[in-house]
A = this chain, B = another copy of it.
């Protein structure tokens, strides 16, 4: 049985037991399911029903520890619905069991009143840590780091450090990378558990540790954090404050989530859609509208230039109506080739594969590729030109195709670099923007060539 099959079987059985309110069966099934999967089932239940009683019944069947980890897998809106249905006391118990980064995220979803009530019931140390973690700006290293790491005081021996690891093991998010801090809490070095395990017990940690630790400041952008984790194949990346004091770590799984969500954001940006705060099936409609409408309306006005271009060449069109037949084809092809070129650059820049220094080399490459593409497409369209309007029209259409595709591709390729140079996000060079710019230029190129060639002919 494959993973997906066994998951589906379990899921069905669980839903059935829930429907029949068969408590015994639920208790037998739940330990067989993983937190991520229970989370998904909870999410589905919450989507189906406005009120969360069935979801709460399921949650209540879980051990407290499990309840916290399942909650951590839910998207924000589902977390909030459940949190609002729980008493302060029960929510507090769950919060205490959550990892520190998930706790801060959930806390930030609650209303101001509730937050104050919960804070008042916490121990001082917990309160301070939560307030600190909840205060970092969204999208920074601080907002995705956890405070549950293993810090070893400088000066310990290997066996002392090992003892510390064993003590911290139940609470830490990872025990496999240890961070050595000095008396002021500053990051002094790092050591993997693997290195610690094979070292002589009496040796000093300070002799063994790697002093040149890769780390980031707490305000570092999360996409840069993810890039560093990926580049150096890290299990976790330590985060420090302005005085290089260790304040948290970002673990590999959180970095992976960032890579995934940044990719989604980039894909949406490529179609001029602003960053959504949640998945497309859950984000509020009003928000979806706002994130899509801005560029759509701007581009309506940009498209007026294409219309103006057509109006300007009204006489040429009137003299040779067959020309209009090829207009969508020519500007469409230019737009497609240009959007391809822009997308290749924008993604290359996002992954670090392409830098501003590569511009010249890439321009030369694009010239060759786009030239060949234009020629190929001109050959494809020329026979149709002959059929519909004779040889003169075929010549105009073929020439226009080569020039529009070449111009469009070069424009699409250069725009991301230009935007980057001006301090804008290169991803602003979206397919809709590039296509619209090329449409307007394509009209001018096509009818310009037509006017020149056909008046000569």
Contact = CB atoms under 8 A, between A and B. Distances in A.
Interface string A339-372: 1100111011001011000100110010011001
A376 interface: yes
A176 interface: yes
Interface stretch (A52-60, A90-98, A130-138, A323-331): A323-331
B332 A306 contact: yes
Contacts of A300: 329, 333, 377, 380-381
A203 interface: no
Contacts of A361: 281
A337 interface: yes
A143 interface: no
Interface stretch (A19-27, A115-123, A153-161, A267-275): A267-275
Interface string A134-156: 00000000000000000000000
Contacts of A328: 303, 306-307, 310, 331, 439-440, 443
A34 to B, nearest CB: 6
A293 interface: yes
A343 B307 contact: no
A216 B3 contact: yes
A242 interface: no
Nearest to A232: B36
B384 A351 contact: no
A259 B373 CA distance: 30
A216 B215 CA distance: 34
Interface string A35-66: 01000000000000000000000000000000
Interface of A: 2-3, 32, 34, 36, 165-166, 169-170, 175-176, 193-194, 197-198, 212, 214-217, 228-235, 252-253, 255-257, 259-260, 263-264, 266-268, 270-273, 279-281, 285, 288-289, 292-293, 295-297, 299-301, 303-304, 306-308, 310-311, 314, 317-318, 321, 324-329, 331-333, 335-337, 339-340, 343-345, 347-348, 351, 353-354, 358, 361-362, 365, 368-369, 372-373, 376-377, 380-381, 384, 431-432, 435-436, 439-440, 443
Given A267-B347, A303-B328, 5 more contacts: A281-B348, A293-B372, A296-B340, A300-B333, A307-B325
